A and B are shown apart, each in its own frame.
Chain A
Amino acid sequence: MTFLKSTLAGSLVFASLAGAVMADEDTIKVGVLHSLSGTMAISETTLKDTMLMLIDQQNAKGGLLGKQLEAVVVDPASDWPLFAEKARELLTVHEVDVIFGNWTSVSRKSVLPVIEELNGLLFYPVQYEGEESSKNVFYTGAAPNQQAIPATDYFLDELGVEKFALLGTDYVYPRTTNNILESYLKGKGIADDDIFVNYTPFGHSDWSKIVADVVALGADGKKVGVISTINGDANIGFYKELAAAGISADDIPVVAFSVGEEELAGLDTSNLVGHLAAWNYFQSADADVNAEFVETWKATMGEERVTNDPMEAHYIGFNMWLNAATEAGSTDVDAVRSKMYGQEFPNLTGGTAVMLPNHHLAKPVLIGEIQEDGQFDIISQTSEVPGDAWTDFLPESAVLMSDWKELDCGMYNTETKTCVQTLSNY
Chain B
Amino acid sequence: MRQIFLAGLAFLAACLISPDRAQAQDAAIQPILQEHQALIVKSSRKTIGPAIDAVASSGLPQAQTVLEVWAAKNMWQRKEDGLFFIGEKIDSKTYALTDFDSGETVGEFPKKELKQLKPNSGIRALIGTALVQFQLSDPDIEARKAALLSIERDPEASLLAPLRASIDGEPDAALKAQKQRLERLLTIGYDTDETARLSAIADMSGDLGVDVRATLNPLLTTTREVAAGAVPEGANVAQILHPGQDSFDKITAYDLLADKGIAPARVTSDDIRLALGEHIEGGSVGGVPVATLHTQAARLKAYTVLAAEGEVPTYVDEAAIDSALKVNVFFDAYAEPSKSVTDAAAKALKDIELKVGLNQTLDLTLDALSLASIYFLAAIGLAITFGVMGVINMAHGEFIMMGAYTGYVVQQFIPDHTVSIIVAIPTAFAVTFAAGVAMERLVIRWLQARPLETLLATFGISIALQQLAKNIFGTQARPLTAPGWLDGAWVMNDVVSISYIRIAIFILALIFLGIFLYIMKRTRLGLETRAVTQNPRMAASMGINPDKVNMLTFGLGSGIAGIAGVAIGLFAKVTSELGSDYIVQSFMTVVVGGVGNIWGTLAGAAMIGFLQKGIEWMNPSNTLAAQTYMIIFIIIFIQFRPRGIIALKGRAAGE
Contact = CB atoms under 8 A, between A and B. Distances in A.
Asked if A and B form a direct contact in the complex, defined as CB atoms under 8 angstroms apart, the reply is: yes
Contacts of B274: 415
Interface in B439-473: 467, 470
Contacts of A246: 488-489, 491
Interface string B91-123: 000000000000000000000000000101111
A240 interface: yes
B573 A208 contact: no
A41 B623 contact: no
Contacts of A216: 210, 360, 495
A210 interface: yes
Interface string B469-481: 0100011111101
Interface residues of A, number: 60
A210 B626 CA distance: 13
Interface string A211-240: 011011011111000000000010011001
Contacts of B213: 219-221
A262 B476 contact: yes
Interface string B560-602: 0000000010011111010001000000000000000000000
Interface stretch (A14-22, A92-100, A156-164): A156-164
Interface stretch (A57-65, A199-207, A320-328): A199-207
B489 A244 contact: yes
B620 A213 contact: yes
Among A37, A222, A240, find the residue whose CB has the most chain B CB atoms closer than 10 A: A240
Given A208-B367, A233-B477, A245 B489 contact: yes
Contact of B572 (A39, A236, A251, A268): A236
A199 B581 CA distance: 18
- Which of B44, B367, B478: most chain A Cβ within 10 A? B367
A13 interface: no
B363 A250 contact: no
A157 B49 CA distance: 13
B448 to A, nearest CB: 34
B214 A218 contact: yes
Contacts of A219: 210, 213-214, 217, 356
B476 A250 contact: no
A380 interface: yes
Nearest to B370: A208
B524 interface: no
A380 B120 CA distance: 8
B623 A237 contact: no
A197 interface: yes
A158 B121 CA distance: 8
Interface in A302-345: none
B304 interface: no
Contact of B118 (A212, A262, A379): A379
A220 B573 contact: no
A204 B217 contact: no
Contacts of B502: 208
B121 A221 contact: no
Nearest to B572: A205
A56 B214 CA distance: 58
B571 A243 contact: no
B497 A266 contact: no
Looking at A219, A243, A378, A379, which has the most chain B CB atoms within 10 Å of its CB? A219
A250 B121 contact: yes
B215 interface: yes
A267 B479 CA distance: 5
Contacts of A250: 121, 124-125, 153
Contacts of B624: 170, 199-201
A244 B500 contact: yes
Interface string A152-182: 0010011110000000001000000000000
A199 to B, nearest CB: 6
B371 interface: yes
B370 A158 contact: no
A249 B121 contact: yes
Nearest to A41: B475
Contacts of A196: 621
Given A159-B120, A244-B499, A245-B497, A236 B477 contact: yes
Contacts of A198: 620-623
A48 to B, nearest CB: 11
A203 B577 contact: yes
Nearest to B623: A200
A415 B213 CA distance: 48
Contact of A42 (B371, B477, B501, B621): B477
Contacts of B266: none
A160 B477 contact: no
A9 interface: no
A241 B624 CA distance: 19
A188 interface: no
Contact of B364 (A154, A199, A209): A209
A377 interface: yes
A209 B498 CA distance: 10
A274 B120 CA distance: 9
Contacts of A237: 571-573
A369 to B, nearest CB: 8
B613 interface: yes
Interface string B32-46: 000000000000111
Contacts of A220: 213-214, 217-218
A271 interface: yes
Interface in A353-405: 369, 377-380
4 residue pairs, one from A and one from B, having the closest CB atoms: A266-B477, A244-B499, A221-B214, A220-B217
Given A158-B45, A233-B577, 20 more contacts: A39-B577, A41-B475, A158-B120, A158-B121, A158-B122, A204-B623, A205-B572, A216-B360, A219-B213, A219-B356, A220-B218, A221-B216, A233-B575, A237-B572, A240-B501, A245-B499, A262-B476, A265-B477, A267-B481, A268-B481
10 contacts: A42-B475, A160-B122, A198-B622, A206-B374, A212-B497, A220-B214, A220-B218, A244-B500, A263-B477, A267-B479
